[in-house]
């Protein structure tokens, strides 16, 4: 029997101080929400979806409500969900103005023969299941508007290169995700994002790409990634991490390997959370911060700064 674990992240990047406390509270709430679904008999896919919905509904995170804005001030979001037992996956790209893209990703996985729908087609599909566009102002936070105004002062909006662009050490935050393993060793992951501030309209990042933004395979484990999508896609970061885990390496070593490869070969930065099918869990990030939390064996673990790992009894 495997010791179940639910881990979530609230996005790698600098994460300004004004967001620290609310980010920590948000990942704790989401991890507890996912674990409750598991305790109530939900599947690992139910858990991943519920945890990510909790994060999407929290305006502190760059996903769903709170998504960052495109250069032309639109809300365009990406998400993925993957079932490690069947390796079925669903993803949505550049969907507009809905609160919970992960719900649409799951519907695509379960109700269509496809893996990904994008743009207008994704919105049309969602509306067939009662998920209609909302007034975008309901999803846009004052912080997202301020961040867009800040980024517009700079020319390089693809901010992968820490301290190496004219926009050094950006204040941004990024993406949410969950990885879960249950008592039977079944795994799932989900990732959701508003992308990167001031992105070009129509730009799709790593989050909805299988093997980049997430990956789940019951033979090894599940991963959700965060960070610069342009780098994560080239590194196939989630698949890299699962591949290294598949050689017998522990979760943390595998994530470090993926992040190191991405930095040395692509000069890209980010973070990841992962669980193994045996119940190992870990998180790492190469950015200044990444809020994360997990529940395992009656304890809630969390942190946001490098090396920070706080444990609370439940």
User: Looking at residue 199, what DSSP letter applies?
Assistant: B
Q: Quick check: 184 and 208 in contact, CB under 8 A? A: no
| Least gap, CB of 149 to ligand GLY (angstroms) | 20
* Pick 83 or 226: Cβ nearer ligand GLY: 226
* 268-to-58, 176, 232, 265 alpha-carbon distances in Å: 27, 18, 7, 8
Site of tokens 């309209």: 201
At residue 42, the 3 state secondary structure works out as coil
In the region spanning residues 200 to 259, those forming contacts with ligand GLY, defined by CB under 6 A, are: 205-207, 226-229
* Pick 106 or 203: Cβ nearer ligand GLY: 203
* Pick 171 or 196: Cβ nearer ligand GLY: 196
Residue 102-141 contact track with ligand GLY, rule CB under 6 A, x = bound:
----------------------------------------
Verify binding: residue 193, ligand GLY, rule CB under 6 A.
Answer: yes
Verify binding: residue 176, ligand GLY, rule CB under 6 A.
Answer: no
Verify binding: residue 195, ligand GLY, rule CB under 6 A.
Answer: yes
* 82-to-22, 212, 253 alpha-carbon distances in Å: 28, 12, 23
Verify binding: residue 177, ligand GLY, rule CB under 6 A.
Answer: no
Catalytic residue status for 175? yes
Residue 263-282 contact track with ligand GLY, rule CB under 6 A, x = bound:
--------------------
Verify binding: residue 175, ligand GLY, rule CB under 6 A.
Answer: yes
Number of chain positions touching ligand GLY (CB under 6 A): 12
The region that residue 245 occupies, defined by phi over 0 for left and psi between -120 and 50 for alpha, beta otherwise, is: alpha
* Pick 226 or 286: Cβ nearer ligand GLY: 226
* Pick 203 or 301: Cβ nearer ligand GLY: 203
Long-range contacts of 294-303 (CB under 8 A, 24+ apart): 294/5, 294/6, 294/7, 294/8, 294/31, 295/5, 295/6, 295/31, 295/32, 295/34, 295/35, 296/3, 296/4, 296/5, 296/6, 297/3, 300/28, 300/31, 300/32, 302/24, 302/27, 302/28, 302/31, 303/24
| Least gap, CB of 183 to ligand GLY (angstroms) | 31
* Pick 229 or 258: Cβ nearer ligand GLY: 229
- Binder among 31, 105, 196, 236 for ligand GLY (CB under 6 A): 196
Give the residue among 55, 69, 71 at the shortest CA–CA distance from 22.
55
From the candidates 70, 157, 175, 225, give the one annotated as an active-site residue.
Answer: 175
- Phi/psi of residue 131, each to 5°? -100, 95
| Least gap, CB of 40 to ligand GLY (angstroms) | 31
Per-residue HEC secondary structure of 282-307 comes to: EEEECCCECCEEEEECCEEEEECCCC
Q: For binding to ligand GLY (CB under 6 A), which residues are involved?
A: 174-175, 193, 195-196, 205-207, 226-229
The catalytic residues are 175
């Amino acid at each position: 029997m495997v010791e179940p674990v639910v881990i979530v992240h609230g996005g790698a990047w600098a994460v300004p101080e004004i967001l620290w406390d609310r980010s920590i509270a948000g990942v704790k709430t989401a991890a507890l929400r996912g674990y409750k679904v598991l305790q109530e008999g939900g599947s690992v896919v139910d858990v991943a979806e519920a945890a990510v919905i909790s994060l999407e509904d929290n305006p502190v995170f760059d996903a769903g409500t709170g998504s960052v804005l495109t250069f032309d001030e639109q809300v365009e979001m990406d998400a993925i969900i993957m079932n490690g037992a069947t390796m079925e996956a669903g993803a949505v790209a550049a969907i507009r103005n809905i609160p919970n893209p992960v719900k649409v990703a799951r519907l695509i996985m379960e109700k269509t023969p496809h893996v990904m729908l994008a743009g207008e087609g994704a919105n049309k599909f969602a509306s067939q299941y009662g998920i209609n566009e909302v007034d975008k102002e309901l999803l846009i936070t004052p912080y997202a508007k301020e961040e867009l105004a800040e980024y517009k002062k700079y020319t390089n909006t693809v901010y992968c290169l820490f301290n190496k662009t004219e926009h050094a050490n950006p204040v941004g935050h990024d993406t949410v995700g969950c990885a879960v393993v249950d008592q039977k060793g079944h795994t799932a992951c989900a990732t959701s994002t508003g992308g990167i501030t001031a992105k070009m309209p129509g730009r799709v990042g790593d989050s909805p790409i299988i093997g980049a933004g997430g990956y789940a395979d019951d033979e090894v484990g599940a991963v959700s990634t965060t960070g610069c999508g342009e780098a994560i896609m080239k590194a196939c970061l989630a698949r890299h991490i699962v591949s290294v885990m598949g050689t017998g390496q522990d979760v943390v070593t595998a994530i470090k390997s993926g992040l190191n490869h991405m930095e040395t070969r692509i000069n890209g930065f980010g973070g990841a959370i992962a669980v193994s099918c045996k119940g190992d869990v870990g998180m790492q990030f190469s950015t200044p911060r990444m809020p994360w939390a997990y529940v395992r064996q009656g304890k809630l673990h969390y942190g946001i700064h490098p090396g920070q790992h706080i444990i609370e009894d439940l």
